[in-house]
């Protein structure tokens, strides 16, 4: 047996120098660029009664603040840094992207969620743009001059997306698009949407074939009801397409192949939401520790009672395990693997940890935990949303079971 040399054995949990420098730069960026914008808006950002119009839309000043943060981030090289350099990104590793998302979420500063591209920004699917699509759609989104949205979910179709009712049919040299999408993030404010539609029937193309992605501009569709989810008011909406005529130049990727193309990037979305869930969990635990050491009851800090300290300890243990799952999943993707099971494990475990810890931290704070000004209930609402978006808990467990060879 070879003698151990004391070096790494192929697994490392230290933060590499590039990632460490990026985290430090993000801290400086948040302090110098994001915090002043958030401070100026104050409670308008955290109180939905102040930051929204009566119908639920974000107010103009909030929209302008979000846009300003995104553009400043793009100029600083953060916004789309996980994309390849040839499309305007920095080509950072998935591990670094994971660490950056988690780091920002752990800060608790309003508007930090806008620093790295979310559903409104450039993603690998849009990076497939070709020809005139690059200048018109991809480049402006990478620079945060335009924003987009991902139109897949429908009123009767969520997790079972291949059964979508939205159709695009050939009419001469054009496509004619009809249908309705729902819960589309950024739809009320997007310059264009990436919309999935069935272009060939399932009986001909198979369950996952026959779906095409189209680039649809804002003046070509109608916004219906805003889907005001508690904790995410004003961000999602219904979208209606009525005989929208589109040239072949509006097809993103290959005709009939969009579902497969999107699934190829599914793990990355789960890495992002897992990282954000863990970062938020860490922020919540920090708030709980500070409060438990300061708040006294029966003559001593409440952190000395096991009913409180054990909640925090269990939360820290779960966050620790979730972070290990996140690093493994991100590393696996960097090795060129799809990480199907790993990403489902991460998404399920991290978001449920976020939910459980958020509930415990509210409980630790007692009545103070329900107050609007401390942001704890906001995190609880967000955690509940996280357990549904990017695939529900049940979908994640089905995926894990399937990867273990268990029939569904």
CA distance 33 to 21: 17
**What are the tens digits of pLDDT across the range 285-319?**
999 999 999 999 999 999 999 999 999 999 999 99
Structure tokens at 103: 């780091």
Structure tokens at 129: 């743009």
pLDDT for res 264: 78
- CATH topology for the 17-117 domain: Butyryl-Coa Dehydrogenase, subunit A; domain 1 (1.10.540)
Structure tokens at 44: 């308008």
Q: Where are the domains of the chain?
A: 17-117, 150-255, 264-403
**What are the tens digits of pLDDT across the range 321-378?**
999 999 999 999 999 998 999 999 999 999 999 999 999 999 999 999 999 888 999 9
Strand 192-198, strand 211-217: pairing: antiparallel
pLDDT for res 156: 82
pLDDT band per the 50, 70, 90 thresholds, residue 4: very low
Q: What share of the chain has pLDDT > 70, as a percent?
A: 97
Is residue 231 predicted with pLDDT exceeding 90?
no
Is residue 2 predicted with pLDDT exceeding 70?
no
Q: Are domains 17-117 and 150-255 of this chain identical in fold?
A: no
Distances in Å between the alpha carbon of 195 and those of 33, 151, 154, 215, 216? 33, 4, 11, 6, 7
CATH for 264-403, options being 1.20.140.10, 1.10.1740.10, 3.40.50.970, 3.40.50.1370: 1.20.140.10
Match 């969990």 to its residue by tokens: 281
CA distance 127 to 116: 16
Tell me if residue 80 falls in helix, strand or coil: coil
Tell me what the pLDDT averaged over the chain comes to: 93
Please report the beta strands in 145-253, taking only residues with DSSP state E, as ranges in sequence order.
Answer: 150-151, 167-171, 174-185, 192-198, 211-217, 222-226, 236-246, 251-252
182 exposure class (CB count in 10 Å sphere: 0-12, 13-18, 19+): buried
- DSSP 8-state assignment for residue 265: T
Angle at 249 between CA 247 and CA 251, to 5 degrees: 90
Structure tokens at 121: 């920004």
**End-to-end Cα spacing for the chain:** 45
Helix (H) or strand (E) holding 116: none
pLDDT for res 5: 42
**What are the tens digits of pLDDT across the range 137-162?**
999 999 999 999 999 999 888 777 88
- Confirm or reject CATH 3.90.1170.50 for domain 150-255, answering yes or no: no
pLDDT for res 132: 96
Contact yes or no for 321/278 (Cβ under 8 A): no
Query: If you average pLDDT over residues 47-54, what whole number do you get?
Result: 86
- DSSP 8-state assignment for residue 34: I
């Amino acid at each position: 047996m070879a003698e151990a040399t004391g070096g790494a054995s192929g697994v490392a949990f230290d933060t590499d120098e590039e990632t460490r420098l990026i985290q430090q730069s993000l801290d400086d960026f948040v302090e110098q660029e994001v915090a002043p914008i958030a401070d100026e808006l104050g409670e308008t950002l955290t109180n939905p009664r102040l930051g929204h119009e009566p119908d639920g839309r974000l107010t103009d000043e909030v929209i302008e603040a979000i846009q300003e943060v995104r553009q400043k981030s793009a100029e600083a090289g953060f916004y789309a840094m996980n994309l390849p350099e040839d499309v305007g990104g920095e080509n950072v590793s998935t591990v670094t992207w994971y660490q950056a998302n988690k780091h920002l979420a752990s800060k608790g500063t309003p508007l930090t969620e806008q620093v790295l591209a979310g559903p409104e920004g450039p993603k690998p699917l849009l990076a497939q743009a070709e020809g005139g699509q690059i200048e018109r759609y991809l480049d402006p989104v990478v620079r945060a001059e335009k924003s987009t949205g991902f139109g897949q979910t429908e009123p009767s179709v969520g997790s079972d997306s291949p059964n979508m009712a939205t159709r695009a049919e050939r009419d001469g040299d054009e496509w004619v698009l009809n249908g309705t999408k729902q819960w589309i993030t950024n739809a009320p404010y997007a310059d264009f949407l990436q919309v999935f539609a069935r272009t060939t029937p399932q009986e001909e193309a198979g369950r996952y074939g026959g779906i095409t992605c189209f680039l649809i501009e804002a003046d070509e569709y109608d916004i219906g009801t805003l889907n005001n989810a508690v904790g995410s008011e004003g961000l999602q909406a219904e979208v209606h397409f009525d005989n929208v005529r589109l040239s072949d130049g509006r097809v993103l990727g290959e005709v009939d192949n969009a579902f497969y193309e999107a699934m190829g990037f599914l793990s990355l979305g789960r890495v992002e939401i897992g990282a954000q869930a863990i970062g938020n969990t860490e922020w919540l635990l920090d708030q709980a520790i500070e409060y438990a050491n300061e708040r006294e009851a029966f003559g001593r800090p409440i952190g000395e009672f096991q009913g409180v300290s054990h909640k925090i300890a269990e939360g820290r243990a779960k966050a620790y395990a979730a972070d290990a799952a996140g690093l493994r999943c991100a590393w696996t993707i960097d090795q060129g693997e799809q990480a199907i099971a790993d990403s489902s494990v991460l998404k399920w475990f991290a978001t449920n940890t976020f939910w459980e810890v958020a509930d415990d931290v509210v409980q630790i704070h007692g009545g103070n935990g329900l107050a609007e000004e401390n942001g704890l209930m906001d995190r609880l609402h967000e955690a509940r949303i996280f357990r549904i978006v990017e695939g529900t808990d049940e979908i994640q467990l089905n995926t894990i079971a399937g990867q273990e060879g268990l029939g569904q």
